[in-house]
Structure 1
Amino acid sequence: MSQTLLIPTLPTETDATLARETSRLLAPRMRSKAPLRVRVVGAAKEETLELPAPAVQMLIRILEEMARGNAVTLIPVHAELTTQEAADMLNISRPSLIQLLDEGKMEYRKVGTHRRVRFDALMAYKRQADADRRAALAELVAYDQEIGI
């Protein structure tokens, strides 16, 4: 996967301001299902492009994140991650990720001796782990209320 991704960089203050203004202008178009026609004015010539509605929605979300000063990376859902990339996304160590893989908690495949984790499998695991944490927290809160803490 790493060969196809751009290195994420934090937007400058100028970039963030421009992203904020542009997202504000595009935001009313977010609910539209119709393609958006955009005029591109360059040094050579002027062209009109049509952007599919889902691309416009994604562009608005990217601009909103940039306006907040966040770096943004796009990852195709079918992309395969190395174990280090997957561990980084879960904010855990690589050995901890490998333990999860070996326990069968996440799907992966082997390429030679290397494990590859599909992005969609990683996100499914993350959603389930987040839901489990929220459920455990709700149980603790209920217990605390029960005993009057």
Structure 2
Amino acid sequence: MTLSAPRSFDIIAPTAEDSAIAQASSQILASIVDSDASHCTIRVMLDGTQGEAVTIPTSALRLFVDILTQMAKGNAVSIVPIKKELTTSEAADILNVSRPYLVDLLESGKIPFRKVGTRRRILYQDLMTYKHRIDERRRQALAELAAQAQELNMGYE
């Protein structure tokens, strides 16, 4: 039996049977994922065959456990590949900002980038570092506002 790889952006909705199998599998694999190993070997068996051992990165197994966990909850799952290096339009879409605003962030030095000819390219990891930093600042500001509202008895408890 040959399995074909799903195309990018295919959405896979689990059946009830899929959800039950995903639940049991995710629980077993989750205990393995907690390892500090960089890779693991799993045996893939189809229809009772002896199967074949496959070595995969532990990070891929973590992603697989996340997929199984979502399927166990009955959620549809889609895998969207993200390139290591992004255009300004792709980066702006990820941050949910306009491209000109993103270019201002790049030119002000808030996000590192490189130029390829006249085009700017942003490393995905640099973009995520920036996103996590601003998300943390937003959480802190929200916590401060909530604390002030409680101190002033503004009806928030």
TM-score, normalization by structure 1: 0.75
Q: Could you tell me which residue of structure 2 aligns to residue 93 of structure 1? A: 98
> What is the alpha-carbon distance in structure 2 between the residues aligned to residue 73 and residue 131 of structure 1?
25
CA offsets per residue over residues 2-54 of structure 1, 9 Å max, x none? xxxx6323222339636445424422322245634313337x98322244544
Q: How does 1:5-84 map to 2 (within 5 A)?
A: 7-14=8-15, 17=19, 19-33=22-36, 35-41=40-46, 46-67=51-72, 68-75=75-82, 79-84=84-89
| Alignment CA distance shift 1:66-1:104 (3 Å) | farther
| Structure 1 counterpart SS, 2:43 | strand
CA offsets per residue over residues 97-132 of structure 1, 9 Å max, x none? 112112221111111111101011101100110011
| Alignment CA distance shift 1:74-1:22 (3 Å) | farther
User: How many residues are matched?
Assistant: 141
Partner letter of residue 72 of structure 1?
I
CA contact (8 A) 2:13 2:77 kept: no
| Alignment CA distance shift 1:131-1:49 (3 Å) | same
1:148 pairs with one of 146, 149, 153: 153
> What is the alpha-carbon distance in structure 2 between the residues aligned to residue 131 and residue 32 of structure 1?
28
Aligned sequence identity (%): 39
Range that drifts further, 98-107 or 19-28: 19-28
| Structure 1 counterpart SS, 2:76 | coil
Partner letter of residue 108 of structure 1?
F
TM-aligned CA deviation for residue 66 of structure 1 = 4.9
Range that drifts further, 51-60 or 79-88: 51-60
| Structure 2 counterpart SS, 1:37 | strand
CA contact (8 A) 1:83 1:94 kept: yes
Q: How does 1:89-128 map to 2 (within 5 A)?
A: 89-128=94-133
CA contact (8 A) 2:12 2:76 kept: yes
TM-aligned CA deviation for residue 86 of structure 1 = 0.8
RMSD, matched Cα: 2.9
Partner letter of residue 13 of structure 2?
T
TM-score, normalization by structure 2: 0.72
Structure 2 regions of 5+ residues with no counterpart? 1-6
| Structure 2 counterpart SS, 1:89 | helix
